[in-house]
Amino acid sequence: MRRVATLLLLTGFAYDTAYAFQECNGHPHLRVMWEKQIIEVDGTFFQMKKEKISKKTARLVGHDMVFVHNGPGSDTLIRNGVSTSYSCATGEGNVGLKNANVQAYQGNALIEDNSAPADATISGTRSSPASGRGHGGGKHK
């Protein structure tokens, strides 16, 4: 009898996969699935990229958003130039990923760009403030 109960229990878990997530109430409402690197913002799912910042700090980036987890009670979403702080609670369950339309990963537009400058006439390196005359220092008469 125990084997049958165990088998039924395991079969139930296989069909209804549980995910660890963070539930963040506020505006906008967030649900963050770190294992899957997915963030849900007001019912829309986004595939993100996880970046570890330090031992206790990580962030999810993508879709011109950054979600930073600094530890218990100090989570921040940066979206459209607006920073929103959250106090999120951890949970586990089926968050509807099987039927969700997850937006594929898209990198943030504001990143450091090492390509050539837009104006090809600009070249060289920055000079130090003391290298030229008339820059900085001294009293003006």
Q: What is the pLDDT of residues 77-119, one digit of tens each?
A: 999 889 999 988 888 887 677 778 899 999 888 654 444 444 4
| pLDDT level of residue 66 (50, 70, 90 thresholds) | very high
Tell me, yes or no, whether 127 lies in a domain: no
Report the pLDDT averaged over residues 62-91.
Answer: 88
Contact 58, 46 (CB under 8 A): no
Residue 82 is assigned to a structural domain of this protein: yes
Evaluate whether residue 130 is within a structural domain.
Answer: no
Residue burial 93-127, b: 16+ Cβ < 10 Å; e: rest = eebeeeeeeeeeeeeeeeeeeeeeeeeeeeeeeee
pTM of the model: 0.63
118 within some domain: no
Position 15 pLDDT exceeds 80? no
Residue 126 inside a domain? The answer is no
CB 80 within 8 A of CB 69: no
> Does 113 fall in a domain?
no
Query: Edge-to-edge strands of the sheet including 89-93?
Result: 89-93, 19-24, 30-33, 38-41, 44-47, 102-103
In a domain, 21, yes or no: yes
Closest by CA to 70, choosing from 79, 59, 61, is 59
* 17-52 confidence digits (pLDDT tens): 677 889 998 899 999 999 999 999 998 999 999 999
Structural domain of residue 48, as residue ranges?
15-99
**How many structural domains are present in the chain?**
1
Instruction: Give me the helices (H) in the chain, please.
Output: 2-15
65 assigned to some structural domain: yes
With CA atoms as reference, report the closest residue to 67 among 57, 58, 77: 77
